[in-house]
């Protein structure tokens, strides 16, 4: 009996040693496992890092009684991101994990994503293994899969464009005033009763005011005299000419009273006469309710000879009486038209008033002054004055918010823009500017909603949506939104969309001189493989901003040059 116990103990001990030996062997040969990572260098897009890992387990490595838990992890200074693990088992294990054959080996696969943090830019992706046989376990050797994360999309310039509301300032404002003088049949003298009509009285006042106000000047005076189409043509020709003369004589008196010089009058006048006003006749008939209107209009369309027309129309006896009473008298007239230009302040005057006496200016002049002024503080002063004088003008509050955005005063900008939105809720320009504030404050989703609701505001909104699409990892969409803009962000979007050559051409035509332009050009050429352009661009970028050295040293876009002597010299 005792002998049997000894034998059992011996077999149990042998089993334990065998189990430990199996784990040790797996650990010793763990380096034989082969891994591949896609992408080979991890990349951040839309704030996330995606990965795919494939492992090839060789034959005779996976112990038949073993269970192995593989765990990918991204390790960086100050922390690690432990990723989703998978468990596999040997052929003799009774469990529900994927089986890896001892004789055949097998494959393991992992895919997933994790949230990117700035500290992760420098780090390592590794895979770990924990092997178990029964109640014994052993950590396998951790295996490094990849170095660091490319975070080029984070180069995006978060510089959304605010929009100023347009002014309606016009340096020259044209004004006109019209009046009619009507005549009795076959007469051409101007009756006193006609000069008391409302339109004539208003015309005289208009002419007088234009002469008295310093910034108004006459630009044209037209007299068009007409005769009605009834009666002999020769008579009508004489009548229209006489009516032109009497209307001209009357207007000359009005202008004389207003003290307009004869020389100016000669250049201003345009006189013409029309013997038989068939066009006017047709228009009045069309607008009338005359019973035989269609018949009259048919006559006008069928005959062009004025004598025949008049004869045919007179044959419509009852209707002709209505024409004689209601239509023809309106055609015996002279039409008077006076044109005046009101000349606005010169820019220098507007700027002086804006700085020293803004109450002198109207809202359009104040908004125009704000556009002329370059100094942001002075702009704020003008737009503030506009909001005080015109508290119901949404454009004044919008433009005040616009300038505060340019100054970085987001709190003040928000107050002004919310007031503007109260005055004109949903206006595309205001909505865009509220989106600019949201994006600058880090609220991308609110900003995106605002921009999508303000596409009618113009190209600035497209630019802002382009920024959003870079941040969202939608690079082709970003390129489309940037098509009317040649900026750093345009070139970045093209690079991220795989359009390297186009990106290179675009960054070359960006007007603004900025160290990051050269940095981006270096990245573009690193992807193209132009070593000389990479080194020249990095050298210029660092000369303009020495702090970029540390960024360059760890940017995996330049990984192929880390051992390059020229590169080392540039970043030392």
Sequence-separated (6 or more) residues with CB below 8 Å from residue 301: none
Distance from C-alpha of 222 to C-alpha of 244, rounded to nearest angstrom: 10
| Cα–Cα nearest to 56, from 99, 106, 100, 101 | 106
Asked if the peptide bond before residue 13 counts as cis, ω within 30 degrees of 0, the response is no
Distance from C-alpha of 484 to C-alpha of 490, rounded to nearest angstrom: 9
Instruction: Tell me if 209 is assigned to some domain.
Output: yes
Instruction: Tell me if 387 is assigned to some domain.
Output: yes
**Is the sign of the CA dihedral 318, 321, 325, 330 positive or negative?**
positive
How many Cα atoms sit within 13 Å of 369 on the Cβ side? 32
Residue pair 90/100 in contact by the 8 Å Cβ criterion: yes
Residue pair 203/254 in contact by the 8 Å Cβ criterion: yes
Q: What is the CATH number of the domain that holds 18?
A: 2.60.40
Enumerate the β-bridge partners of residue 199: none
Give the largest CA-CA distance in the chain: 155
- Amino acid 262: pLDDT: 63
Enumerate the β-bridge partners of residue 111: 52
Q: What is the CATH number of the domain that holds 337?
A: 3.30.1330.60
- Amino acid 298: pLDDT: 87
Sequence-separated (6 or more) residues with CB below 8 Å from residue 19: 65, 133, 134, 136
Select from 150, 185, 216 the last residue of a domain: 150
Same domain? For 326 and 399 the reply is no
Q: How many domains does the chain have?
A: 3
Same domain? For 474 and 531 the reply is yes
| DSSP H helix total and E strand total for the chain | 25, 16
Same domain? For 280 and 429 the reply is no
- Amino acid 265: pLDDT: 64
Same domain? For 103 and 192 the reply is no
- Amino acid 32: pLDDT: 93
Q: Which two tokens stand for residue 411?
A: 């709190």
Same domain? For 438 and 533 the reply is yes
Same domain? For 127 and 183 the reply is no
Go through 57-71 and write b for each residue having 16 or more CB atoms within 10 A of its CB, e for each that does not. beeebbbbbbbbbbb
Same domain? For 125 and 258 the reply is no
Question: Is residue 412 packed enough to be buried (19+ CB in 10 Å), middle (13-18) or exposed (0-12)?
Answer: middle
Q: Which two tokens stand for residue 338?
A: 């006076």
Same domain? For 391 and 336 the reply is no
Compute the chain's Rg from CA coordinates.
44
Instruction: Tell me if 351 is assigned to some domain.
Output: no
Strand arrangement, sheet containing 333-343: 172-182, 333-343, 216-226, 269-274
- Amino acid 267: pLDDT: 76
Domain that holds residue 219: 172-343
Same domain? For 133 and 190 the reply is no
Same domain? For 412 and 535 the reply is yes
| Cα–Cα nearest to 247, from 286, 191, 190, 305 | 190
Same domain? For 246 and 207 the reply is yes
Same domain? For 193 and 324 the reply is yes
Instruction: Tell me if 358 is assigned to some domain.
Output: no
Residue pair 475/496 in contact by the 8 Å Cβ criterion: yes
- Amino acid 317: pLDDT: 56
Distance from C-alpha of 430 to C-alpha of 464, rounded to nearest angstrom: 14
- Amino acid 257: pLDDT: 58
Q: What is the CATH number of the domain that holds 553?
A: 1.25.40.10
pLDDT along the chain (572 residues), means of 10: 40 40 89 94 97 96 96 96 97 95 96 96 96 94 94 97 96 92 93 93 90 82 90 90 91 71 72 88 89 85 86 77 86 91 91 95 96 96 97 98 97 98 97 98 97 96 98 98 96 98 96 92 97 97 95 96 96 90
Residue pair 221/262 in contact by the 8 Å Cβ criterion: no
DSSP letters of 477-525? Answer: HHHHHTTT--SHHHHHHHHHTT-HHHHHHHHHT--S--HHHHHHHHHHH
């Amino acid at each position: 009996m005792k002998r049997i116990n000894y034998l059992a103990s011996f077999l149990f001990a042998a089993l334990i040693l065998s189990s430990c030996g199996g784990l040790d062997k797996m650990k010793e040969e763990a380096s034989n496992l082969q891994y591949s990572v896609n992408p080979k260098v991890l990349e951040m897009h839309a704030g996330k890092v995606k990965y795919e890992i494939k492992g090839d387990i060789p034959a005779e490595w996976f112990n038949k009684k073993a269970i192995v838990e593989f765990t990918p992890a991204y390790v960086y200074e100050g922390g690690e991101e432990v990723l989703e693990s998978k468990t596999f088992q040997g052929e003799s294990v009774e469990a529900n994990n994927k089986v890896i054959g001892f004789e055949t080996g097998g494959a393991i696969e992992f895919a997933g994503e994790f949230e990117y943090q700035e500290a992760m830019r420098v780090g390592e992706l590794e895979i770990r293994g924990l092997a178990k046989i029964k109640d014994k376990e052993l950590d396998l050797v951790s295996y490094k899969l990849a170095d660091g994360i490319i975070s080029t999309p984070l180069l995006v310039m978060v510089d959304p464009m605010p929009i100023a509301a347009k002014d309606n300032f016009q340096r020259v404002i044209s004004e006109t005033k019209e009046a009619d003088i009507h005549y009795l049949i076959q007469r051409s003298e101007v009756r006193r009763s006609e000069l008391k009509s409302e339109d004539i009285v208003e015309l005289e006042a208009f002419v007088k005011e234009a002469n008295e106000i310093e910034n108004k000047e006459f630009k044209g005076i037209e007299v068009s005299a007409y005769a009605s189409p009834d009666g002999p043509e020769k008579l009508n020709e004489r009548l229209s000419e006489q009516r032109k003369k009497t209307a001209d004589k009357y207007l000359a008196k009005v202008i004389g009273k207003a003290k307009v010089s004869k020389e100016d009058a000669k250049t201003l006048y345009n006189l013409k006469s029309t013997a038989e006003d068939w066009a006017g006749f047709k228009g009045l008939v069309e607008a009338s309710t005359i019973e035989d209107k269609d018949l009259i209009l048919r006559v006008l369309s069928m005959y062009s000879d004025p004598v025949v027309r008049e004869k045919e129309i007179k044959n419509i006896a009852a209707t002709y009486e209505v024409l004689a009473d209601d239509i023809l008298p309106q055609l015996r007239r002279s039409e008077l038209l006076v044109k005046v230009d009101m000349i606005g302040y010169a820019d220098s005057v507007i700027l002086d008033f804006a700085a020293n006496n803004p109450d002198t200016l109207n809202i359009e002049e104040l908004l125009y002054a704000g556009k002329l002024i370059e100094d942001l503080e002075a702009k704020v002063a003008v737009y503030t004055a506009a909001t005080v004088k015109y508290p119901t003008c949404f454009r004044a509050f919008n433009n005040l918010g616009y300038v505060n955005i340019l100054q970085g005063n987001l709190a003040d900008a928000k107050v002004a823009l919310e007031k503007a939105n109260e005055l004109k809720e949903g206006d595309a320009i205001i909505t865009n500017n509220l989106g600019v504030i949201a994006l600058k404050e880090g609220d991308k989703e609110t900003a995106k909603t605002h921009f999508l609701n303000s596409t009618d505001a113009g190209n600035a909104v497209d630019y802002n949506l382009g920024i959003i699409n870079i941040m969202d990892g939608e690079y082709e969409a970003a390129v489309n939104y940037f098509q009317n803009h040649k900026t750093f962000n345009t070139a970045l979007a093209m690079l991220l969309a795989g359009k390297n050559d186009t990106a290179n051409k675009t960054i070359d035509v960006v007007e603004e001189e900025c160290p990051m332009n050269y940095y981006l050009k270096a990245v573009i050429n690193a992807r193209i493989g132009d070593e000389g352009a990479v080194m020249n661009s990095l050298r210029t970028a660092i000369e303009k901003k020495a702090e970029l050295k540390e960024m360059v040293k760890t940017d995996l876009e330049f990984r192929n040059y880390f051992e390059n002597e020229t590169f080392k010299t540039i970043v030392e």
